[in-house]
Amino acid sequence: SQIFQPDKEVLLYETEEECYQQIIRLKEDRKLRNDLAMAGYQRAIEEYRYEDNLKKILDWVISLKDRNT
């Protein structure tokens, strides 16, 4: 799964020109800026809480330990 959904929660680019075009889009489109910001923020607070991430990391470490015993 993706961390953020392209064009819904984040804008992507591969070249300097694409980056420039995304910046222009954001500069000229207040609704797009607000929609991206709110969707990205919502995803972050729902799926990337500190406690949840710590548990995932600890579970992963334990699974590594279990594999090596």
| pLDDT tens readout for residues 30-69 | 999 999 999 999 998 888 888 888 988 999 999 998 887 7
CA angle 55, 50, 31 (to 5 degrees): 135
DSSP letter (8 states) at residue 29: -
9 within 8 A of 40, measured Cβ to Cβ = yes
What's the pLDDT score for residue 10? 94
- Residue 5: pLDDT band (50, 70, 90) is very high
pTM exceeding the 0.85 threshold for the entire prediction: no
What is the number of other CB atoms lying within 10 angstroms of the CB of residue 36?
19
What's the pLDDT score for residue 1? 46
3-state helix, strand, coil in the chain (%, to 5): 70, 5, 25
